[in-house]
Chain A
Amino acid sequence: MDYGCENLQKRYGDRTVLDGVTFACKAGDRICIAAPSGGGKTTLLRILAGLEYPDGGSAHGFGGARLAVAFQEDRLCEHLSAVTNAALVQAHPDREAIAEAMHEILPRPSLHQPVRELSGGMRRRAAVARAVLAESDVLLLDEPFAGLDGESRERTARFILNRQRGRLLIFTAHAAGEAALLDGAALSLTTP
């Protein structure tokens, strides 16, 4: 399956956020969108996820694909556990398998607690795990390592890589180190 976008443009009022973004990729690729804060990373991911429309250009391949997204905000159902949050987005969830997988990056007692009781780092890992464990063709991760310390980052990166399984992985990163963790081909968004 081929994916990509051509000459994507997006403006908010007078401010141009994306100006002629073009790339092509296929299932199994890993793409890292690198840009400083406010550089359009999240906007690009939202367009690829179909949540926003570009002012110019087009994206292809994403419309018919099953998407899984870890948003910049965790967007978890606060009253539910990490396992239930992951189960909710699956068609036929196996709660035991989800808990077993999540245990690789989250302590076991935290798996069944309401996520509102978890720390910021745990919530981030729960949000990333929810996206990674969902059945999908494309995995979009917006700053998956935000708020995670060194060891957590590495474990989370291993968790993602071990479960990519032929899916297209597109993620955003602030720093070069974060891009290297997932070994992604860099797509640089130059601020217009």
Chain B
Amino acid sequence: MKCKALIIFLWLAAWQAAAWAVGRSVILVGPLEAGETLLRMAVTAEFWRTATLTAARIGGGFLLAFCAGVGLGAAARRWQLLQDILAPAVSAVKSVPVACFVILVLVWLGSGRLTLVIVFLIAFPVLYLQTLEGLGRADGQLLEMAQVFCMKPWSRVRGIYLPALLPSLESGCSLALGLSWKSGVAAEVIGTPLHSIGQELYFAKIYLEMDRLFAWTLVILAGSFLFERGFLWLLRRCARALEGT
């Protein structure tokens, strides 16, 4: 723990040293100035409104992707035909650059629902594929046991599938949440929906307010970290409750 704090401190020191070396706040500001700006912003209602709305859009898109990814992943593991049908779509969504989707969504739906849709499109393939992989790791010997005892479907889920799925799903959620914040905010920068972190970053770029840009970046980092920790904690609690342990 102490070692981790020391490493973070060293990086912050390097960042501050770089800012001092550059000496121009329109190019680079240090953590002290960024922190100061963040504190100044944090006392305004607009800051919380912006941060909350972006977090809600990203969280909403991720939750939709989670439900669809796990649901369709489980169904596709059960029915090979569905897996075959979904495979090209999932590959395409994985490969197409976010910017293409952003432009399409802006044209079709406008900027209001942009973040939600983009986060869904980015997180869904990760969660779907991790679900498929996790369920594929279910212990074959236990499945044979379940077959012989004619175990009920829910008992199979509790005893065999959930423990196989959970590690894959945890790493999938961790990855997808990180990507959600990155792609969600990137989409907001392009689409500039009202009251969004992306719009704030866009204005910071236009007016060369590097302190605000770095302050909002710190907010994104904190949001991503809190979402990941919070969601994984919730996932483990739910899994334990479902398994009855």
| Residues of chain A having any CB pair with chain B under 8 Å | 49-51, 66-69, 71, 73, 75, 77-81, 84-85, 88-89, 91, 114, 134
Does any Cβ of A come within 8 Å of B245's Cβ?
A: yes
Contacts of B245 in A (CB 8 A): 79-81, 84, 114
How far, in whole Å, are A73 and B145 apart by their CA atoms in the complex? Answer: 10
With beta carbons under 8 angstroms apart, the residue of A51, A66, A84 that contacts B144 is: A51
Q: Summarize B's interface: helix, strand, loop or mixed.
A: helix
Query: What residues on B are CB-neighbors of A50 within 8 Å?
Result: 148
Question: Which residues of B come within 8 Å of A, CB atoms?
Answer: 141-142, 144-152, 155, 158-160, 163, 243-245
State the total of A-B contacts with C-beta under 8 angstroms: 51
The answer to whether A75 and B163 touch across the interface, beta carbons within 8 angstroms, is: no
Nearest chain B residue, comparing its CB with the CB of A130: B149
A residues within 8 A CB of B160?
77
A134 to B141, CA, bound (A): 18
B159→A75 contact, CB < 8 A: no
Complex Cα–Cα for A68 and B144 (A):
12
| CB-based contact B158/A88 at 8 Å | yes
Report yes or no: B152 in contact with A77, Cβ–Cβ below 8 A: no
Is the CB–CB distance between A80 and B148 below 8 Å?
A: no
Q: Least Cβ distance of B240 to chain A in Å?
A: 9
Expressed in whole angstroms, the minimum distance between the Cβ of B222 and any Cβ of chain A is 33
How far is it, in angstroms, between the C-alpha of A50 and the C-alpha of B147 when the chains are bound?
10
CB of B243 within 8 A of CB of A71, answer no
Taking a contact as CB atoms closer than 8 A, the residue among B141, B155, B158 that contacts A75 in the complex is B141
Q: Which residue of B lies closest to A81 (CB)?
A: B245
Contact call A67/B148, Cβ cutoff below 8 A: yes
Q: A75-B142, A75-B145 are in contact. Are A80 and B151 (CB under 8 A)?
A: no
A91 to B151, CA, bound (A): 8
